Amino acid sequence: MTRSEPLMEAAGVGHIYAGGQVGCEDVSFRLYPGEVLGIVGESGSGKSTLLSCLAGALEPSSGQVKFDVGRQGLRDVFQLSEPERRLLMRTEWGIVRQNPRDGLRMSVSAGGNVGERLMAVGERHYGQIRDQALDWLGRVEIAADRVDHLPRTFSGGMQQRVQIARILVSRPRLVFMDEPTGGLDVSVQARLLDLLRGLVRDLGVAAVVVTHDLAVVRLLSDRLMVMRHGRVVEHGLTDRVLDDPQHPYSQLLVSSVLQA
Amino acid sequence: MTAEPMLTVNGLAKTFVLHTQNGVRLPVFANVDFSVAAGQCLALTGPSGAGKSTLLRSLYANYLPSDGQIMVRHRGRMLDLASAEPRQQLEVRRETIGFVSQFLRVIPRIPAEVIVAEAAIAGGASPEDALAAARELLRRLNLPERLWSVPPATFSGGEQQRVNIARGLIRPFPVLLLDEPTASLDPVNRRGAVDLILAAKAAGAAVVAICHDEDVRAEIADMTFDVSSYKAAA
Ligand SMILES: Nc1ncnc2c1ncn2[C@@H]1O[C@H](COP(=O)(O)OP(=O)(O)OP(=O)(O)O)[C@@H](O)[C@H]1O
Ligand SMILES: [Mg+2]
């Protein structure tokens, strides 16, 4: 159950933008298999910069991001060769983008979007690809008669669910999510959140979830980091941080919302 | 005293510091010491606002103590929950300490029986076994069968509380923390809940409970602890 090898480690991760603007600074944590880490903070607090560094998209100006590549132990993600890193992103990681348009191919059907990802990890049997794509779209509650339609004809909530199916179909060990319920109306958000919660539990996938919505982390994450001005000001069990916040900024954040 | 201690609290203190209110300090308790053995039940007493729930939540690592230790027997050895890593705290919650809160935190769209079953699944039960156990418990707590597949958001206080109790007691946790488990129940339903708590004790659970109802307290508790006499100086 509780494996002692971390899946990912961030050690003093910082990023300073070209203009001298601090993106994030000195962020350290370990993530274990199946754990969900939430990151909250106001806009501009460095959440998305940190997520880009963690997901290998932006090279940190200080510190290291390490991942248990191929279950061979922790390796610095930015020291991998380009093909190695691409393989890692395709097979072991998944990234749920805030805007589903950035995570989907809009000119390919919903089923194609999911099947494509399976082909990218080496699945070749057409019938199996089709079956798995259908199965996954069903799990994210996309009706079978919509499978051959283009995502462009879907609502935002449906697009987001297709994106999630596309990512989870290849069974990644770690999923990054940036505001997974952002931009959706409240009832659609709630439904998506239930779905994500169930999927994360059933699959035992680890996740890093960035959001400004405390209700999202309350439901999804085991542990929570609160960021302000690029730094982590508080880190602990999610319900502890939300119910008994210690740092003045965490208290302000929690008291500014109605009952997360 | 022959049974081994399951939970031992040493010098526990809690003061809230409200930074959004000019840093005002709210001392709740200090120098709290007690020990609870397997099969024993300690009842926390004191008037409203004395800090009973604050103490109980601290024992679950839901509140951060200002000082002191919370030694809990976990995987055969004593671990200080107060200073443990979040990851260990999660493991303790998964395997050792169960909690029934004062109110159910409703998760939208999830049916009552699934909320209860999930607690068993988290402990390693198969989904089928977990659902069967959940239904059995809800039956023993007299929750009408037609409500089992309904999300508890629309339930009455007493109905929600029974879901809460079922969720907390579905697994044989070695340590059980109960915050007003029977407060909103009528006598018949209270009987069902008390029987379950007594069964958990008989099975070896160390219990810390808050209950205003004196009859219930007399029936389940072996010792009492008055939180208001541990008021910290302001
Ligand atoms: N998260 C919190 N942040 C700040 N203060 C809190 C918090 N939780 C409790 N308190 C304060 O701690 C004190 C003790 O409250 P607590 O809820 O523990 O009392 P109680 O003995 O359980 O009361 P009751 O019998 O009414 O349930 C109160 O003054 C309360 O306002
Ligand atoms: Mg209380």
- A99-110 pLDDT, tens digit per residue, is 899 999 999 999
Report the pLDDT value the prediction gives residue A259, as an integer from 0 to 100: 57
Nearest bound ligand to the CA of residue B44: 1
Cα-based distances in Å from A212 to A39, A158, B177, B180: 8, 22, 32, 33
* Interval A4-15: pLDDT, tens: 789 999 999 999
**B187–A contact, CB cutoff 8 A:** no
* Interval A165-177: pLDDT, tens: 999 998 999 999 9
Report the pLDDT value the prediction gives residue B2, as an integer from 0 to 100: 56
When the pLDDT of each residue in chain A is averaged and rounded to a whole number, the result is 90
Rounded to whole angstroms, the Cα distance separating B36 from B44 reads: 12
Report the pLDDT value the prediction gives residue B1, as an integer from 0 to 100: 46
Rounded to whole angstroms, the Cα distance separating A80 from B82 reads: 39
Which residue has its alpha carbon closest to ligand 1 atom 4?
A: B16
**B20–A contact, CB cutoff 8 A:** yes
Asked whether the whole model's pTM tops 0.80, one would answer: yes
* Interval A114-129: pLDDT, tens: 999 899 888 888 889 9
Put simply, the answer to whether B19 touches A255 (Cβ < 8 Å) is no
ipTM: 0.92
Asked whether the predicted pLDDT for residue A257 surpasses 80, the reply is: no
Ligand 1 pocket mutation, candidates B20, B21, B54, criterion most atoms within 8 A of CB = B54
Please give the residue of chain B at the shortest CA–CA distance from A35: B87
Q: How far is the CA of B199 from the centre of ligand 2 (A)?
A: 24
Question: How far from chain centre, in Å, is Cα A256?
Answer: 25
Write out the H or E segment, with its range, that includes residue A214.
helix A214-220
Ligand 1 pocket mutation, candidates B24, B29, B52, criterion most atoms within 8 A of CB = B52
Query: Residue B25 in contact with residue B206, Cβ under 8 Å?
Result: no
Rounded to whole angstroms, the Cα distance separating A112 from A137 reads: 11
Phi, psi of A152 (to 5 degrees): -55, -30
Average pLDDT on A84-102 reads 90
Asked whether the predicted pLDDT for residue A3 surpasses 60, the reply is: no
Task: Locate all alpha helices (DSSP H) within B11-141, ordered by sequence.
Answer: 52-59, 86-95, 112-122, 127-140
- Is A194 a pocket residue for ligand 1 (Cβ < 6 Å)? no
Residues in chain A within 8 Å Cβ distance of B110:
194
Of B16, B61, B90, the CB nearest to A222: B90
Average pLDDT on A32-59 reads 91
Report the pLDDT value the prediction gives residue A1, as an integer from 0 to 100: 42
Of A1, A201, A219, the CB nearest to B107: A219
* Interval A46-82: pLDDT, tens: 898 999 999 999 999 999 999 999 889 999 999 999 9
Residues of chain B scoring pLDDT < 70: 1-2, 106, 233-234
Report the pLDDT value the prediction gives residue B10, as an integer from 0 to 100: 98
Report the pLDDT value the prediction gives residue B161, as an integer from 0 to 100: 92
Report the pLDDT value the prediction gives residue B233, as an integer from 0 to 100: 65
Asked whether the predicted pLDDT for residue A90 surpasses 90, the reply is: no
Average pLDDT on A35-53 reads 91
Put simply, the answer to whether B87 touches A190 (Cβ < 8 Å) is no
